[in-house]
């Protein structure tokens, strides 16, 4: 393997056999786990603890999914949240402890306590391979999740899946999105008595793939709960260099822009693209001043703590002089 290639998550997950073949002993492995240098994902599977610290919660769960998949036998399929992380869907504030697998027949999947077994029909079209692992299709994964997740997480999943369908670089594929919505609506209509189907129907109608992050998705939901009109998303504002700035939310009737600031913008070096936090903040201030000055709209910013509840967001907006309807 070329030294210049960054290790993928799959490469970082090592079995006991891998470690032993590299010269480790069981005593050394146990000492490394006790000392915090090595994290045991599940029995017989490990990842460097420092590497794990840098992973988002969804990626930590994907590591768990990979380890279970390498141990698995039979035709069981990764599903629910464990399929979601393979599809790179966000799982807003979910605590991901157990790997979820579905089988069409009620036979044993795993005796391990870190695996939850579901028994449900699995038509061939609902099973695909992602990253070499059997999992439920994107459509089936979304259908399974938006029925049972808390509403905030369900909206974030649905928005992200629709974005995968519609986003084509800087273009938006209206036909692909329309087809996706029809297929999901048909699946929901075909399961009138299923658990959580009323929530699934509401979420599918509320979905907007133009939301660029789970924080924006949850913000949309809280704005709805507060009684605001549905905001325009990714609103373009002419920039001084002839290009465009894009603002997360536009509430046109009251002439207000809204921006959700996730901490990753400032803390994640990859998202900063080599810029310092100070440089990011200065650029944001210049951008915000330009938008306010040229549009004469107010602009409110909020962060993750402000969207924990609709009330919290309402209080944040009120601090900017923007009362809820």
Assigned domain for 149 exists: yes
**pLDDT tens for residues 304-324?**
999 999 999 999 999 999 999
Domain boundary residue, one of 184, 209, 234:
209
pLDDT value, residue 4: 43
Helix 138-146, helix 197-206: angle, nearest 10: 120
C-alpha 42/C-alpha 242 separation (Å) is 53
Assigned domain for 131 exists: no
pLDDT value, residue 282: 81
Whether residues 97 and 2 share a domain: the answer is yes
Query: Mean pLDDT over residues 8-23, rounded?
Result: 96
- pLDDT above 90: residue 40: yes
Assigned domain for 128 exists: no
CB 107 within 8 A of CB 119: no
Assigned domain for 130 exists: no
pLDDT value, residue 272: 42
- pLDDT above 90: residue 264: no
Assigned domain for 129 exists: no
Query: Mean pLDDT over residues 165-171, rounded?
Result: 91
C-alpha 196/C-alpha 325 separation (Å) is 30
Where does the pLDDT of residue 241 fall: very low under 50, low under 70, confident under 90, or very high at 90 and above?
confident
- pLDDT above 50: residue 171: yes
Instruction: For residue 53, give both structure tokens.
Output: 């610290």
Task: Report the domain count for the chain.
Answer: 3
Kindly report the pTM of this predicted structure. 0.89
Domain hosting residue 40, numbered range: 1-122
**Beta sheet of 115-119, edge-to-edge order:** 115-119, 99-103, 77-78, 133-136, 127-130
Where does the pLDDT of residue 293 fall: very low under 50, low under 70, confident under 90, or very high at 90 and above?
very high
Burial 42-62, CB ≥16 within 10 A → b, else e: beebbbeeeebeeeeebebbb
* CA neighbor of 287 nearest in space, from 268, 307, 259: 259
Whether residues 20 and 98 share a domain: the answer is yes
* Residue 289 or residue 149, greater confidence: 149
pLDDT value, residue 73: 80
Q: Which residues pair with 42 in a beta bridge?
A: 45
The CA distances from residue 24 to 14, 15, 20, 21, in Å, are 12, 11, 5, 7
Whether residues 195 and 219 share a domain: the answer is no
Query: Mean pLDDT over residues 242-268, rounded?
Result: 84
- pLDDT above 50: residue 266: no
Q: Which residue's structure tokens are 């279970």? A: 68
Provide the mean pLDDT of the chain: 91
C-alpha 93/C-alpha 304 separation (Å) is 11
Domain boundary residue, one of 122, 146, 172:
122
The CA distances from residue 171 to 159, 174, 216, 263, 314, in Å, are 17, 9, 20, 27, 33
Reported residue count of the chain is 325
Domain boundary residue, one of 177, 209, 241:
209
Whether residues 205 and 218 share a domain: the answer is no
pLDDT value, residue 76: 86
- pLDDT above 90: residue 46: yes
- pLDDT above 70: residue 273: no
CB 101 within 8 A of CB 78: yes
Task: Write the CATH number for 263.
Answer: 3.40.960.10
* 163 Cα distance to chain centroid: 11
pLDDT value, residue 105: 78
What proportions of the chain, in percent to the nearest 5, are helix, strand and coil?
50, 20, 30
Assigned domain for 132 exists: no
Where does the pLDDT of residue 75 fall: very low under 50, low under 70, confident under 90, or very high at 90 and above?
confident
pLDDT value, residue 265: 46
* CA neighbor of 216 nearest in space, from 244, 196, 188, 246: 246
Burial of 222 (0-12, 13-18, 19+ CB in 10 A): buried
- pLDDT above 60: residue 113: yes
- pLDDT above 60: residue 270: no
Whether residues 204 and 252 share a domain: the answer is no
pLDDT value, residue 189: 97
Assigned domain for 325 exists: no
DSSP alpha helix (H) spans, 22-56: 26-35, 49-53
Whether residues 218 and 200 share a domain: the answer is no
Whether residues 167 and 263 share a domain: the answer is no
Q: What are phi and psi of 117, to 5 degrees?
A: -100, 135
Query: Mean pLDDT over residues 256-282, rounded?
Result: 68
């Amino acid at each position: 393997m070329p030294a210049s290639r960054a290790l993928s998550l799959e490469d970082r997950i090592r079995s006991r056999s891998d470690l032993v073949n590299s010269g480790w002993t069981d005593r050394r492995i146990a000492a490394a786990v006790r000392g915090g240098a090595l994290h045991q994902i599940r029995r017989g599977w490990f990842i460097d603890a420092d590497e794990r610290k840098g992973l988002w919660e969804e990626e930590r769960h994907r590591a768990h999914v990979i380890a279970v998949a390498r141990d698995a036998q039979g035709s069981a399929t990764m599903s629910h949240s464990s399929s979601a992380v393979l599809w790179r869907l966000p799982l807003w504030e979910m605590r991901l402890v157990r790997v979820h697998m579905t089988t069409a027949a009620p036979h044993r999947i795993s005796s391990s306590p870190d695996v939850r077994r579901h028994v449900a029909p699995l038509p061939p079209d609902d099973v695909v391979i992602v990253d070499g692992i059997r999992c439920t299709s994107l459509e089936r994964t979304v259908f399974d999740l938006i029925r049972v997740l808390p509403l905030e997480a369900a909206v974030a999943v649905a928005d992200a899946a629709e974005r995968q369908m519609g986003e084509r670089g800087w273009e938006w594929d209206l036909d692909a999105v329309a087809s996706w919505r029809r297929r999901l609506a048909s699946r929901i209509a075909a399961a009138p008595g299923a658990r959580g189907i009323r929530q699934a129907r509401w979420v599918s109608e509320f979905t907007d793939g133009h939301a660029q992050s789970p924080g924006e998705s949850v913000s949309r939901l809280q704005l709805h709960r507060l009684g605001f009109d549905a905001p325009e998303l990714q609103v373009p504002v002419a920039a001084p260099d002839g290009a465009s700035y894009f603002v997360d939310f536009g509430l046109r009737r009251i002439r207000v822009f809204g921006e959700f600031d996730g901490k990753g913008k400032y803390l994640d070096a990859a998202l900063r693209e080599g810029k310092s936090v100070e440089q990011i903040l200065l650029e944001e201030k210049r951008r915000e001043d330009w938008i306010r000055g040229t549009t004469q709209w107010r602009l409110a910013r909020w962060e993750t703590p402000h969207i924990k509840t609709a009330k919290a967001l309402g209080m944040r907006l009120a601090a900017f002089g923007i009362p809820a309807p």
